Structures are given as C-alpha cells and as structure tokens.
Homo-oligomer: A and B are copies of this chain.
Amino acid sequence: MKKLGVAILGMGVVGGGTYKILTDNREYFRRTQKLDITVECVLERNRQRALDLGVEEERIASSIEEVISNPNVDVVVEVIGGIEPARSFVLQALMSGKTVVTSNKEMVCKHWYELEEEAKKMNAGLLFEASCVGGVPIIRTLTDGTQANHILSLVGIINGTTNYILTKMEQEGSDYASALKEAQNLGYAEFNPTADVEGFDAAYKLSILSSMAFNKRIPLENVYREGITKITAEDIAYGKKLGYKIKLLAIGKDTPAGVEVRVHPAFVPAGEMLASVNDSFNAVKLVGDSVGEVMLYGRGAGALPTGSAIVSDIIFAGKHPEIAYSTFENTKEADKNTKFVSDFTTKYFIRLTVEDKAGVLSKIAGVFAKYNVSLKEVKQEVAKANGVPLVIITHETQEFSIRKTLEKLESLEEVISVDSLIRVEE
C-alpha cells in the first residue's frame, strides 16, 4: 500500500482538526483510499498545545529545517495563517519537492505567483481547497467538476463571521455593534474583527476563486471591497419590507467588457437560494455556459470542516501524483492583459433624510435624472424629528453614476443626510 507522510505546520484550530481526522481515520483511509497516511511530525511553538492534542513528544519538530529534511514527509500542511513565517515555510517545503496543502487564503492570494513558480520548478503539488469556503469543495468543483464550462459568474457568501452577524441583525433586529459582540462571545468573530467585517477575508477568497473560475489571475487590488460596518438595523428593516435579505456578497463576472470582481453588502430577494444561507454557513453559486446554475453550500470554517478540506487535498495528492497547476499563466506579466470593469452595473437601495417641505422630491428626482439613473421605486416615509426618510430603489444603472448622484445629493440643502447605499442583486 502506498504510504504518505504528512507534516502539519501550526497546531491551532485547523491544525488540530486535521490531526484528529488523519489519526482517527488511518484505517478507514487504508481501506477506502488505499493510502496509508501518517502524521510524521508537527511544527508548533507551543509544544504543550501539540501534546494536549495527542501528538507524541518525538513527533514535535523544533524547526522547519527538521520538517523539510525528514525523508518520510511527502506532504506539508500549512495552517499557520498570515504571511510570515507561513510563506517562507511553504517556499522551503516546495523547494525541497514536497507537496504543500494549505488553508492560507491571504498567502495564496498575495503570493500565488512565486508559490506556483517554485512548485512547478520542483514538480511539487500546491493545493488549497481549505483556503476558500472551508469544507465546501468549491475548488475541486472548479478544477474537476465544472471545468468543461466557461464560468460566466460566481456569486458567494464566503465569510461566515459577517453572515453570522447579518443573520443575527436580520432575525433579532439588533444593531451591528451588539451582533458583533455576540459573534465575538461565541468565537465566530475575532477580537480584532477587521479582516472579516471589512471584507478583506472575502476579497482574498474571491481573488482566488475568480482566478480559478475565469482562467486568469485576478489580483487582489482589482477586487472592489466594502465591509458591513455601516449596515444599520434600519436598512435591514426597510429591506425586509421590500422583500430583501441582506448578505455580504462576493461577486465575480467574466464579461466581454472585462472581469468584474467585488465584495460588498447587498440586498437579495428573500426567495433566492442564497437568501436562505444563514448563520455561519457559506455558499457559492456558479453559472457556467453549459451547466447553467450550480450552487454549493456548507460550513465555511471550523476545525473539522476545514480539516476535511485539507485531508481531501492530501488524499487527492496521494492518489493523483500528476499535478494540476493553474489553468492560466500565473505571472505578473500575463496579468497585464486582463481587462477589468470597475464601473459595474447593478440596482441600488438608497436611503436619505430630507427636509419636510414641498418640492424636495422633485428636486431629488431631478438629480437622479441628471445622471441618467432611472428610479424603480420611491418611498417617502412618515416624517421624523430629524426630517423625512426617503427610500429609493433604482433600476439597473452604473456604479459611477450612482456615486456622482450621491455626491450631488449630499451637496443639496434639502438633503439632511445620505444615510445608506446598498446594492441590490436580483
């Protein structure tokens, strides 16, 4: 039986989950996969943590060099996270010809060029299913399930923390701050939640997933990014009345005009499948030219779901030694040929507070008309102490026109405040 030796770098949540799956299921994988997978060593600064997880003392390596020089290690699992030392460790592993399996979206997103270059030089594998949407096999699907298609679009809820927060706000009417607090108490959000709530995490994943979907590298700097911190309970309540639910969407489209990639909160119709993706669950909807719509749904994070993706990659590498690299030329030079669309088209929900006097509505409508923004619905609510709330839904229009419209509206004397701008994806 084929033997496969694994080293795990980092015994945190995901490392621990990976270790547990591999050790609990050694016999199961021998039987079903015809692979004898052993954890040869782990690298973890906090030795006690590794010991507590059941790792034998002599299998705790004291340096990356010790891991790399171990001839029994075929696959190096990197689950440290962040850029350094993860990147250096991974490069060293690849340079020594070992296959790397990683959950590190930030590293893959930012350093994919050099990682793939090193991997190719040494004919080493580089697999990262666990970097995007935890246990959901979205990368395997893109590489080996829907690869017969031109993928036209990809729309996902790919960050569990923000989906948990928005679901709580939706279901309990709570405001952002208290929903975040709850998420932090439950361990769904970190003490410093920036990477999640400002959309960085989703942008890393969208960069990776859209690169794979569209067969061209989509660098992070081309991803438009907006987080959820400005979403209010009021917006959600208005959305509900209009039949919408709010989600942090990651959207990628491959159009004749160029690639469109953006992460931002959006209203989606309550009847849509994506609207039913709640709490910390994730989902990605693909549209392929042959297959049509395909959606994958599941847990986006967690020790065992992410561990499941890592172990699936380990098994895949063990069973299929020829290595599939990117379906595109993964170099900075090749990227220069990719066109991007930043003035994208969608619908918009706009909430204003305006003065309570005659003629205001006409003046505001005039501004929209000036920038060629056609309105679908205007709701003037009952006047409050600070003015009259006005809720506007536009027809499909250009992002840049909306930004100009809002700028102009903000300068109007009759407009007390521009309270919200939320895109509507139908």
Contacts and interface: CB of A to CB of B under 8 A. Distances in A.
A46 interface: no
A299 B308 contact: no
Given A146-B308, A292-B299, A293-B299, 19 more contacts: A17-B290, A25-B148, A31-B327, A32-B215, A129-B145, A134-B291, A135-B292, A135-B294, A141-B141, A144-B312, A146-B312, A148-B307, A273-B297, A290-B304, A291-B304, A291-B305, A292-B304, A293-B298, A296-B297
- How would you classify the secondary structure of chain A's contact residues: helix, strand, loop or mixed? mixed
Interface residues of A, number: 56
Interface stretch (A79-87, A242-250, A318-326, A346-354): A318-326
A295 interface: yes
Nearest to A327: B32
A21 interface: yes
A149 to B, nearest CB: 6
26 contacts: A25-B148, A31-B215, A31-B327, A32-B147, A135-B288, A135-B292, A135-B294, A137-B141, A137-B144, A137-B294, A141-B141, A146-B312, A148-B307, A148-B309, A273-B297, A289-B304, A290-B307, A290-B308, A290-B311, A291-B305, A292-B304, A294-B297, A295-B295, A295-B297, A297-B297, A320-B322
A96 B141 CA distance: 31
A328 interface: yes
A305 to B, nearest CB: 5
Contacts of A135: 146, 288, 290-292, 294
Nearest to A305: B291
Interface in A10-52: 17, 21, 25, 28, 31-33
Q: How many copies of this chain does one complex carry?
A: 2
A150 B31 CA distance: 12
Contact of A141 (B31, B145, B299, B315): B145
A128 to B, nearest CB: 14
Contacts of A309: 148, 291
A19 to B, nearest CB: 12
A129 B144 CA distance: 11
A225 B309 CA distance: 34
B149 A316 contact: no
Contacts of A134: 291
